[in-house]
Structure 1
Amino acid sequence: MKKIIILFSAALLLSSCGNQVKMDKKADVSAISAKTIAQVIDELGNSNSGTNKSLMEKGVKHAANLWRGSDGSEEDFKTFCKENYISDQAEKELVFQKISRNIEVITGNFNKIALELLEPVHLNTFEQHAIDNAFGAYSVDSHWMNDFYQNKIAFIIALNFPPFSLEEKEANAKKWTRQQWAYARLGDYFTARVPAELLQEAGKAAAESDVYIMDYNIYVGHLTDAEGNRFFPVDKVLLSHWNLRDELKANYANKKDGLEKQKMIYQVMQRIISQEIPEKVINNGNLEWDPYSNLVYQNGKTIEATPEPNERYQQILNNFHANKAIDPYYPDQNTFIKRQYDGAKEISAEATEKIFTDFMRSEETKKVGELIKQRLGRDLEPFDIWYDGFKARSGMDESKLDAQTRKLYPDAAALEADLPNLLVKLGYDKERAQWLGAHIAVDPARGSGHAWGGAAKGQKAHLRTRIGEKGMDYKGYNIAVHEFGHNVEQTISLYDVDNFVMNGVPNTAFTEALAFIFQKRDLLLLGIHNDSPQEDALKKLDLFWSAYEIMGVSVLDIRMWKWLYANPEANSAQLRDAAMRIAKEVWNEFYTPVYGVKDQTILAVYSHMLNSPLYLSNYAFGNIIEFQLEQHLKGKSFPTEIDRIFKQGRLTPNQWMVEATGNDLSAQPLLKAAKEALEELK
């Protein structure tokens, strides 16, 4: 998962007794009247002949909307606009370049500080202490935007480089020049005026969620059933939900006791979702636990073990109240849902839900489900949302893959040294591979791992990955290759883009797409090739089934947040019940027709719902984008096209896809491909 730093999020923390901290402060409103705005527009229009009047009006209105009484009087506002409006295009470009350079300096250094403060939290090379979490929660960048309102730089930007709505960007996407795109992206920096204290609290809440998730380990080697059977090595420890899911996937190739292992992991997941999991067994290898009876044993004797006190859902509530607190500061995107979809993703929540639900209602889901049932030789189980049998590795002995990856990568330094070689295997020439590899550092992660990009030229992207005492096992390697894809995107879209404010991708789904593309080539990078004539058809069905799974989770995430907004006073127990009910509803609507079982809550197990709210749909869109890119890459130079495509920067999602492949962003090609693959496999 790519590490996302979302500006303008905020948090209201909970006290130790569980009551919400209330803030009575209301968002200030503009101090500038409509009459004054009209006067300023007339005066600027009269004194600046040949100016783009509509753009000037947009800038004046936006600056006025951000102006507060503390910034000065209406006369002060008139004077400010008169003195700071730039009509000369050469001067405007000069100012733009200076602003871009300085924002890179500021945000780049903030990124460096945050990265280093979080090292004791994120990396397992540090002995962790509570004080590390306190420093990790400190948001060093929380004040700079408010400072820029006070020193008036924000108003200079708002006046001369105003933001455009999603609708306006889409309408202009095909005709804007790169300069116009860059000016519009600069405008995105100052769209709302959120108090620094809210941003500071947001960082603290987000860091606490990360810490909670990173320490949520299940000692599966100490799981037992009613007869006392153990199915996992005594030293196996799996992080929820990522490693639990990956272990479940790995056991499709295990004909001996794979199904028993999968059912046991599924039962653990059910206990986590319902919060019936005994608190004592979380991150504890000194007890035995039967997840079926929910009994806990110590030295062979049953001991009392109370359930986790809804902490999972309290984390979600913390995020909800955090972001709801800043809703009033956004006149247009006045909910976190709108800010995440209309704003960050630039695809509305309504459009997202329609794309996903149409996909999940397709007849292809039933047909692929029937094929999986035939391949398994049994009825589908709810955990078959993670069916892994279409992949080349699904029939391989994972212990042999573990031995290979542990030998190759005994530590983080070995993986970092090998990154250029991996790129050469993907088709890059040695010089370009060395350059990209030199801009990526590998760190041993405490959690499952993530990718953290640089924020200024001269900074490296960081690949955080989990490496055990015996070296990197195959699951860790597979995740690391995914994160490596993120790092390559982060490096290309920072260093090769034509202007700093255009750096990155339209939204994180696009970096997820490249991460998926890399991850699918993990065996190739190990020198393992699949020469099956059915390989292409199986790859299509694998991607289709992955999209089907994650789209349901994404819809659950959206509907849960809608419920939170409709029930803002809910407590953690009420949220738990609502999340489970919504999970069942989504399951019954989109999965029961395929699986034949009702009222399953498995979709609610995803840890992203806690520490990355409303992030999950990036994976679903990532699958859609991945497929379109893979189709485009066929018969072309992989490195040439990847470099060309990902240096486009932050266009709108659809325009980026048009420039990349010549086609609109759509789920239809994946649906069509699944249909064709099913016919081929007949």
Structure 2
Amino acid sequence: MKQLLSLIFVLILVWSCGQKAKETSTTQMIITEKHSGDAIQKISEKFPEINRQNVEKGVRHAASLWRQTDGTAEDFISFCADNYIGNSEEKQMVFTKMSDYFESLFGHFNKMLLDLRKNMDLQTGPLHPVDHMFSAYSAGAHLNNDFYDNKIAFLVALNFPFYSAEEKNELGKNWSDQEWAYARMGDIFNSRAPSELNQKSAAVSAEADAYIAEYNIYMGKLLDKNGKTLFPENMVLLSHWNLRDELKANYALSENGFEKQAIIYRVMQRIIDQSIPEKVINSGEYNWKPYENEVLQNGKPVEATPEPATRYQKIINYFRAFKAFDPYHPVLNTAIKRSFSGYMQIPQNEVEALFHEFLSAPQLKQTGEIIKKRLGRDLQPWDIWYDGFKARSSIPEEKLNAITRTRYPDAMALENDLVNILENLGFENEKAAFLASQITVDAARGSGHAWGASMKEEKARLRTRIPDEGMDYKGYNIAVHEFGHNVEQTISLHDVPYYTMNGVPNTAFTEALAFVFQERDLFLLNMKDENPDKEYLKTLDILWSVYEIMGVSMVDMQMWKWMYSNPDCTAEELKNATLEISKNVWNKYFAPVFGIEDQTILAVYSHMINSPMYLPNYAYGHLIHFQLEEHFKSHPFAPEVERIFALGQLTPEVWMQKAVGQPLSNQPILDAAQEAIDHLL
């Protein structure tokens, strides 16, 4: 199956290379400043009272997208003069019509994507190569090019021009909802790349998702240093998410808890450096000794070769697919810039500076001392996932599993309980019923995810892993997190002022609401935390979570910088570079707290393979989460969730001010952490 997928990917690469000569003319800008000036003059003569600055912005944006294949310079000037909308009532009418059209297009393409990925994402039975082939197809890959060909893209660019993140931050402070909606319309056509690159990117994404979705470790087949098994025979965990969550769960165990954590950590190290035997990946046919890296069958050693540098080849495939877009983005001319200045709307250097400030904070070493005292031992590298500040960390997982398996034997049981969950969180019955009616629960093949709708007629999808014996606590915890995403997705689609504003500034903001929901998982199981120090402990729990994910994010960002400096690298070279980067980040920010050097654990996250440069959103999400929680202490929870997440796609800076009246900052969590440390030490 893997060989077939590789062949498909190679064929896509060869085919797209064959398009290069054909596409050359689409990269050449032919509209000069004089041509733009002539178009501006004609429009100004036609509409003498029009704001000339708006005309200039629209014409220059359209000019940046016009290519030789679209017509001559004279054609461009005529197009601008004929299609500029100088009447505000007509412009609003056109905007409304186009919003409806785009909602239908985006919504149906999203539905098709869901349908084509159904077997890949859900527990529908064994996968066949044909499933991979269809999941790699993007029905909407040609949409942008089609809209340039029929000139709709130019109509949008001319009348609803693109504003940079910096412009939105400055001007958006005083914008009305309609002005924000017009600006978001302008985001739809902010660059021009061949559809073949979109199709290729979709194929790379599907292949990476398939690789991760089937990267399971059969825990009942692991043998410790004494040749004994520590985990149930039927326990199968996905890397890295389930491995991490199992490691967290073992903080509550007095018997074999440390030993289980240690062997999971060794498995993770083998995955990172690719010394893991290929035979034991997604297979329960063999026993495996992770410490000795020995594979056994029927008690006898068998030959086993390490996994090739597949993990790192997937990353390179993504890098090259994304880098191919660079020439088509004159300003955001690297995938790094597009991910941060474009998608996150925060420049990468600002993200890194914020993370450096946090990772260097003295409160982290003090918190490490508290954890060390609570554990009664020196810190180990896997204690980046210390879970002992949470109320559930003192509850045996078996007890939690018994509750969740009884309550949620299958996906339908969870779906039927969504209204109750929302009402328990304070939502009025009518609103709870509406939100629940817009969400469908599916049994996921992987660890789970939330997939929002793109039109009001469709539902958001909550995917979580549900074993045959019912939902275990890990699956429930993930499901509550994903449900938070679904609630945000539904509110920010249905309740925003205009369709083009649907969503949030970036995924950090949807992660924030997911964390808010996830933190209430035990409350939703009617298990109360009576600890008088619970607020202090919750603060330190968030602090430690931010610490871990910011370190991981630093590795992810530096890895992408390294690839841009070494664009022709091999998978083996990237592996070695990533190991070195992870050690350097660890030594700079974690060794002073843990007292251990040269650890590679920060490179374990599967997001690095199938969600490039997504990890910083989690770190920002935790910071936003903390500021939201502080806000909810003095404001009613459910009504404020409804208000805040109906703000829509503003910039992060403007959104935070409107949501909680404060800018995004490290200081609130660090100040609260210091108060907690002073109380607990």
Q: What is the one-letter code of the residue matched to 2:410?
A: D
Q: What is the one-letter code of the residue matched to 2:328?
A: Y
CA contact under 8 A between 1:221 and 1:232: conserved in structure 2? yes
Cα offset, 1:19, TM superposition: 10
Which residue is 1:417 aligned to?
Answer: 416
1:201 is the counterpart of 2:200: yes
Cα offset, 1:16, TM superposition: 8.9
- The structure carrying a bigger helix percent of its residues is 2
Which residue is 1:543 aligned to?
Answer: 542
Superposed counterparts of 1:389-428, under 5 Å: 389-428=388-427
Which residue is 2:27 aligned to?
Answer: 28
Q: Deviations over 1:285-304 (max 9, x none)?
A: 11000000000000000000
Over the matched positions of the two proteins, sequence identity in percent amounts to: 55
Distance 2:501 2:615 in 1: 24
Q: Deviations over 1:179-202 (max 9, x none)?
A: 111111110010111111111111
Which residue is 1:63 aligned to?
Answer: 62
Superposed counterparts of 1:245-284, under 5 Å: 245-284=244-283
Give 5+ residue unaligned stretches, structure 1.
1-10
Which residue is 2:10 aligned to?
Answer: 15
CA contact under 8 A between 2:631 and 2:660: conserved in structure 1? yes
Superposed counterparts of 1:172-571, under 5 Å: 172-571=171-570
Which residue is 2:160 aligned to?
Answer: 161
CA contact under 8 A between 1:13 and 1:20: conserved in structure 2? no
Q: Deviations over 1:87-135 (max 9, x none)?
A: 1111111111111110001000101111111111111124321101111
Secondary structure, aligned partner of 2:517? helix
Superposed counterparts of 1:635-674, under 5 Å: 635-674=634-673
The more displaced of 644-653 and 221-230 is 221-230
CA contact under 8 A between 1:409 and 1:471: conserved in structure 2? yes
Cα offset, 1:358, TM superposition: 0.5
Which residue is 1:5 aligned to?
Answer: none
After superposition, the Cα gap between the structure-2 partners of 1:37 and 1:456, relative to the gap in structure 1 and judged at 3 Å, is same
Q: Deviations over 1:333-364 (max 9, x none)?
A: 00000000000100111000000011000100
Cα offset, 1:665, TM superposition: 1.2
CA contact under 8 A between 2:12 and 2:200: conserved in structure 1? no
CA contact under 8 A between 2:653 and 2:664: conserved in structure 1? yes
Secondary structure, aligned partner of 2:254? coil
Distance 1:14 1:409 in 2: 40
Secondary structure, aligned partner of 2:182? helix
Q: What is the one-letter code of the residue matched to 2:401?
A: D
Distance 1:100 1:139 in 2: 22
Secondary structure, aligned partner of 1:538? helix
Distance 1:127 1:569 in 2: 36
CA contact under 8 A between 1:12 and 1:201: conserved in structure 2? no
The more displaced of 600-609 and 41-50 is 41-50
CA contact under 8 A between 1:427 and 1:638: conserved in structure 2? yes
Distance 1:28 1:352 in 2: 31
Secondary structure, aligned partner of 1:296? strand
CA contact under 8 A between 2:488 and 2:513: conserved in structure 1? yes
Q: What is the one-letter code of the residue matched to 1:255?
A: S
Q: Deviations over 1:240-259 (max 9, x none)?
A: 00000000000011111100
Q: Deviations over 1:149-188 (max 9, x none)?
A: 0000000000010001111111112111111111111100
Count matched residues. 672
CA contact under 8 A between 1:12 and 1:318: conserved in structure 2? no
Which residue is 1:145 aligned to?
Answer: 144
Q: What is the one-letter code of the residue matched to 1:80?
A: F
The more displaced of 61-70 and 640-649 is 61-70
Which residue is 2:3 aligned to?
Answer: none
Cα offset, 1:44, TM superposition: 1.6
Which residue is 1:108 aligned to?
Answer: 107
Distance 1:644 1:525 in 2: 22
Secondary structure, aligned partner of 1:356? helix
CA contact under 8 A between 2:312 and 2:575: conserved in structure 1? yes
Which residue is 2:609 aligned to?
Answer: 610
Distance 1:149 1:632 in 2: 45
Cα offset, 1:45, TM superposition: 1.8
Which residue is 1:596 aligned to?
Answer: 595
CA contact under 8 A between 2:9 and 2:203: conserved in structure 1? no
TM-score with structure 2 setting the length: 0.97
Distance 1:57 1:264 in 2: 63
Which residue is 2:135 aligned to?
Answer: 136
Distance 2:434 2:233 in 1: 42
Cα offset, 1:225, TM superposition: 2.1
Secondary structure, aligned partner of 1:504? coil
Q: What is the one-letter code of the residue matched to 1:492?
A: I
Q: What is the one-letter code of the residue matched to 2:584?
A: E
Distance 2:16 2:355 in 1: 36
Which residue is 2:575 aligned to?
Answer: 576
Distance 2:8 2:582 in 1: 26
Cα offset, 1:12, TM superposition: 13
Q: What is the one-letter code of the residue matched to 1:471?
A: G
Q: Identify which of structures 1 and 2 has the higher relative contact order when contacts are C-alpha pairs closer than 8 Å and 6+ apart.
A: 1
Distance 1:20 1:488 in 2: 41
After superposition, the Cα gap between the structure-2 partners of 1:248 and 1:14, relative to the gap in structure 1 and judged at 3 Å, is same
Distance 1:174 1:205 in 2: 39
Which residue is 2:585 aligned to?
Answer: 586
Distance 1:327 1:429 in 2: 48
Secondary structure, aligned partner of 1:173? helix
CA contact under 8 A between 1:13 and 1:21: conserved in structure 2? no
CA contact under 8 A between 2:137 and 2:199: conserved in structure 1? yes
Cα offset, 1:227, TM superposition: 1.9
Aligned CA RMSD, in angstroms, stands at 1.6
1:627 is the counterpart of 2:626: yes
Give 5+ residue unaligned stretches, structure 2.
1-5
Distance 1:146 1:14 in 2: 22
Which residue is 1:42 aligned to?
Answer: 41
CA contact under 8 A between 1:14 and 1:21: conserved in structure 2? no
Which residue is 1:4 aligned to?
Answer: none
CA contact under 8 A between 1:12 and 1:325: conserved in structure 2? no
Distance 1:436 1:166 in 2: 31
Cα offset, 1:213, TM superposition: 0.2
CA contact under 8 A between 2:61 and 2:161: conserved in structure 1? yes
Which residue is 1:6 aligned to?
Answer: none
Distance 1:148 1:603 in 2: 43
Which residue is 1:96 aligned to?
Answer: 95
Q: What is the one-letter code of the residue matched to 1:203?
A: A
After superposition, the Cα gap between the structure-2 partners of 1:406 and 1:676, relative to the gap in structure 1 and judged at 3 Å, is same
CA contact under 8 A between 1:405 and 1:477: conserved in structure 2? yes
After superposition, the Cα gap between the structure-2 partners of 1:53 and 1:439, relative to the gap in structure 1 and judged at 3 Å, is same
Q: Deviations over 1:180-237 (max 9, x none)?
A: 1111111001011111111111111101110100000000111002321111111111
Cα offset, 1:18, TM superposition: 11
Which residue is 1:3 aligned to?
Answer: none
After superposition, the Cα gap between the structure-2 partners of 1:559 and 1:95, relative to the gap in structure 1 and judged at 3 Å, is same
Q: Deviations over 1:609-651 (max 9, x none)?
A: 0000000001000000000000000132211000000000000
Distance 1:43 1:471 in 2: 68
The more displaced of 62-71 and 601-610 is 62-71
TM-score with structure 1 setting the length: 0.97
Distance 2:674 2:96 in 1: 50
Secondary structure, aligned partner of 2:58? helix
Superposed counterparts of 1:68-87, under 5 Å: 68-87=67-86
Q: What is the one-letter code of the residue matched to 1:249?
A: K
